[in-house]
Amino acid sequence: MFDSVENVIKQLGEQGYICDKRIATVVFLAQQLDKPVLVEGPAGVGKTELAKVVSQALGREMIRLQCYEGLDEAKALYEWEYSKQLLYTQILKDKVSETIGDSQSLTEAAERVGQEDSVFFSNRFIVPRPLMQAISSPKPTLLLIDEVDKSDPEFEAFLLEILSDFQVTIPEIGTIQAQTQPLVFLTSNDAREMSDALKRRCLHLWIDYPNEELEVKILDSKVPNIADQLAEDLVSLMHKIRDLDLKKAPSISETLDWARSLMALNAESLDEAIASDTLNVILKYEGDVAKAQNELSKMLEQRAAAKKTEVETPEPASPAEKKKGILH
Ligand SMILES: Nc1ncnc2c1ncn2[C@@H]1O[C@H](COP(=O)(O)OP(=O)(O)OP(=O)(O)O)[C@@H](O)[C@H]1O
Ligand SMILES: [Mg+2]
């Protein structure tokens, strides 16, 4: 249980998730008000990870529903296990024959089989899918409805129903009401605009790329052995690359991948050769790599020019300036 916004920041930090007050406030309110959170933002900024760390911090099991085009109620809520029903019918064949044995007509036989419906339409033959698992769980859970923008609008309408009632009605069995309301996180990459009705039911959280200070902290948390200088240079270059007009801007996950790659190559700082050799770790389109390469060369030229001026007009450098890396 989170008892304050600061406590959210602290507890998520212990799980390796670095967040600012804005994110922590939404998480805190979601818990206090029992409201779902709709998390939107570009790919790789930590939307899914946020749900995971909240579930760990609260000690709740996370139940995940991965959305995709064509996802329907049967895959999200529950399905009848037809093969098992069929198997039972086969095994109980003799009993079924006994039941309908002396029927005078087909209608009467069907009527008698119908009276035994509950044998074949019971909990025994239900396959619970994520929404039902979250609703029927006796313990409080965290339900992650991931990439909801990939599902169809009809499915979104169905989700609205679930999110307002937290109950499922199975015509053959009855209504199952959640014993403890799950904490719900929905994530979206903005593939399509979510409906106003869904937004109204949720607290809205937009996660953008972090500022440099926060990203260095994330890097320190996820790649603990990284040298300070390398972390700062890398994040600084990453921010400059994000400002370029790219087909796919690199995200936090790419920053982490890049840092891990550079460490695997034993790099202590970011020089031009190693940076350009590894740009493909963070950029997935050739055109983007060329643009970043250009930017990198420009930055290095500026640095060389700045150094030249420094040599021509030497001034006693402060320790802070001495510490600055190639990209400043
Ligand atoms: N604030 C953060 N603190 C620590 N790690 C983070 C943070 N934000 C993102 N990450 C890391 O970045 C990576 C990508 O995060 P995640 O998969 O949650 O992104 P996403 O927004 O769900 O992306 P997508 O839209 O592609 O699913 C993960 O490895 C995660 O650990
Ligand atoms: Mg995700």
For atom 31 of ligand 1, the residue with the nearest CA is 49
pLDDT over 80 (residue 121): no
Q: Tell me what percent of the residues of the chain surpass a pLDDT of 70.
A: 95
Encoded tokens for 151: 């599902």
- Which are the contacts of 282, defined by CB distance < 8 A and separation ≥ 6? 238, 241, 250, 254, 255, 257, 258, 292
Answer whether residue 25 shows pLDDT above 80.
Answer: yes
Select, from the ranges 7-11, 84-88, 134-138, the one with the highest average predicted confidence (pLDDT).
7-11
How do residues 261-279 score in pLDDT, each as one tens digit?
Answer: 999 999 888 888 888 899 9
Q: Residue 316 has what pLDDT?
A: 58
Q: How far apart are CA 119 and CA 128, in angstroms?
A: 18
Nearest-CA residue for ligand 1 atom 15 is: 46
Q: Is 253 in the pocket of ligand 1 (CB under 6 A)?
A: yes
**Rounded to the nearest whole angstrom, what is the distance from the C-alpha of residue 267 to the centroid of ligand 1?**
24
In 3D space, the residue among 195, 99, 180, 88 whose CA is nearest the CA of residue 142 turns out to be: 180
Q: For ligand 1, say whether the CB of 232 is within 6 Å of any of its atoms.
A: no
| Predicted TM-score (pTM) of this structure | 0.85
Widest distance between CA atoms in the chain: 111
User: At a CB cut-off of 8 Å and minimum separation 6, what does 193 contact?
Assistant: none
- 96 contacts 89 by C-beta, under 8 angstroms: yes
Query: What does the pLDDT look like over 152-168, one tens digit per residue?
Result: 999 998 999 888 889 88
Whether ligand 1 lies within 6 angstroms of the CB of 40 is answered as no
Provide mean pLDDT across the span 200-225: 95
Q: How confident is the model at residue 61 (pLDDT cuts 50, 70, 90)?
A: very high
Query: What per-residue confidence (pLDDT) applies to 328?
Result: 46
Domain 5-76+129-206 has CATH 3.40.50.300: yes
Per-residue pLDDT of 243-258, as tens digits, reads: 999 999 999 999 999 9
Following DSSP, what letter does each residue of 54-85 receive, concatenated?
HHHHHTPEEEEEE--TT--HHHHTEEE-HHHH
Q: Measuring CA to CA, which residue among 248, 243, 307, 300 is closest to residue 274?
A: 300
State the pairing for strand pair 203-206/37-40: parallel
CA of 20 to the centre of ligand 1 (A): 14
Mutate which of 45, 209, 238 for ligand 1? The one with the most ligand atoms within 8 Å of its CB, which is 45
Report how far ligand 2's centroid is from the alpha carbon of 39 (Å).
Answer: 10
Average pLDDT of the chain, as a whole number: 89
- Whether the CB of 252 sits within 6 Å of ligand 1: yes
What pLDDT, in 10s, does the model give residues 292-323?
Answer: 998 888 877 776 787 778 777 765 555 555 44
Please give the number of the atom of ligand 1 that sits closest to the Cα of 187.
22
Q: Select from 21, 23, 49 the residue to mutate for testing ligand 1; criterion: most ligand atoms less than 8 Å from CB.
A: 49
Residue 177 has pLDDT above 80, yes or no: yes
